[in-house]
Amino acid sequence: MRTTISVIKCDVGSNVGHHVVPEPLVNVAEISLDRAQKSGQINNYFVFNAGDDLELLMVHEKGEGNKEIHALAWDIFQNAAGKAKDLKLYGAGQDLLKTAFSGNIRGMGPGVAEMEIEERRSDPIIVFAADKTSAGSFNYPLFRMFGDPMSTAGLVIDKSMFGGFKFEILDSKENTKVILNCPAELHEIIALLGTSTRYTVSRVWRAEDNLVCAVTSTTKLSLIAGKYVGKDDPVAIVRAQHGLPAVGEILVPFLHTYFVEGWMRGSHWGPLMPVSLKDSKCTVFDGPPRLVAIGFQVCNGGISLGTMGKPLIADMFDDPAFDMARRESVEMTSVFRRMGEFEPARLSAEGMEYTTLPQIIEKLKGRFKPA
């Protein structure tokens, strides 16, 4: 049976600056998705937040890029933004860059990751959602999961992974994409993915049978709007086990923090902090950039259910095993913030292209004399 997992997210407004999605906006989404589930439009859902981003997880049988599913998400974001305006919340409707919905939410502001799968006997899924960062922030962990035999033991031990994986990599500057094979083109993959401000992993397949194993949202808000309007705050869907990396191999790259682009005003490098859903809120310098991970099992077109018919959702970073990464993230925050607006704490000139920095250079233009 073919099942589709859709994660569609949007910053529709936040309580107290860019801090967190408040309950009234979560309620708007839950009421709509409950109605959609009862009418049979979707089979299951889960609403959560990554900092100030409202995240809609919908499981259904309608395939990727489905007009009905995208319209459902679009209407929810419109209604939630309306609610945010009524409550005078901060940045109400921030990511809704276009007004007329034309059948697909891609390119309109919200981030989208969708994966249609042929359900296996048991299909564990992890959904990652980050706040205060950009699409390239998943390059490093996805490489570790599917390309690094020093991280994923299965690449060495499980013969069903010996054929390796294929990475689809998007060039956000040229708007082109390329598929590279790992391990055959390992060095080329690292060469591109290391430039995480430009190249982004958009999809991963198992090479021997093209089984889809990971998808990410690759929206660059600045490229849609032509200026800095907010952080891209990406989501990713990763499939685990049975000839794919185990759940633990998918989570082990987050044992330590690593640096991502985004943070305050989308203009700084910051240490990613893996957190539980209860700590999914941004504070220090609007961060540090946070990452949540929820896990579930796909079951007959939906999510395995627990008591009262509620989907069984696991909060994967709600675990002291990630305390070290959180501690490192705070320590690195302290090091970088001590540097203020000096590189490498702040992004390079190229990374600042869509911020207000060019206006400052423009203002000083006439005062530069030949040296």
Sequence-ordered alpha helix ranges (H) in the chain: 23-38, 67-86, 139-147, 154-157, 186-193, 221-225, 247-251, 323-338, 357-364
**Exposure of 120 by Cβ count < 10 A (0-12 exposed, 13-18 middle, 19+ buried)?**
middle
> Which of 53, 95, 168, 232 touches Mg ion (CB under 5 A)?
53
Active-site position among 9, 11, 52, 140: 11
Q: Judged by CB, which is closer to Mg ion: 52, or 261?
A: 52
Q: How far apart are CA 290 and CA 276, in angstroms?
A: 10
Site string for Mg ion, 108-147 (x = CB under 5 A): -----------------------x----------------
* Binding of Mg ion by 232 (CB under 5 A): no
Is 365 catalytic? The answer is: no
Give me the residue whose beta carbon is nearest to Mg ion. Answer: 233
**At CA 360, angle to CA 355 and CA 362, rounded to 5?**
105
* Binding of Mg ion by 52 (CB under 5 A): yes
3-state secondary structure of 58: strand
Q: Judged by CB, which is closer to Mg ion: 223, or 314?
A: 223
- Give 222-227 contacts, CB < 8 A, sequence gap 24+: 222/266, 222/354, 223/172, 224/97, 224/107, 224/108, 224/109, 225/97, 226/354, 227/354
Least CB distance to Mg ion at residue 301 (A) = 30
Q: Judged by CB, which is closer to Mg ion: 203, or 231?
A: 231
* Binding of Mg ion by 233 (CB under 5 A): yes
Is 11 catalytic? The answer is: yes
> Which of 5, 11, 36, 267 touches Mg ion (CB under 5 A)?
11
Q: Judged by CB, which is closer to Mg ion: 52, or 123?
A: 52
Least CB distance to Mg ion at residue 117 (A) = 28
Site residues (CB under 5 A) for Mg ion, limited to 349-368: none
Active-site position among 171, 228, 315, 318: 228
3-state secondary structure of 44: strand
* Cβ-based neighbours of 94, under 8 Å, separated by 6 or more: 11, 12, 13, 229, 230
Q: Judged by CB, which is closer to Mg ion: 10, or 299?
A: 10
Active-site position among 231, 232, 281, 354: 231
Is 209 catalytic? The answer is: no
Which residues of this protein are in contact with Mg ion, per CB under 5 A? Answer: 11, 52-53, 131, 233
Q: Could you list the active site residues? A: 11, 228, 231
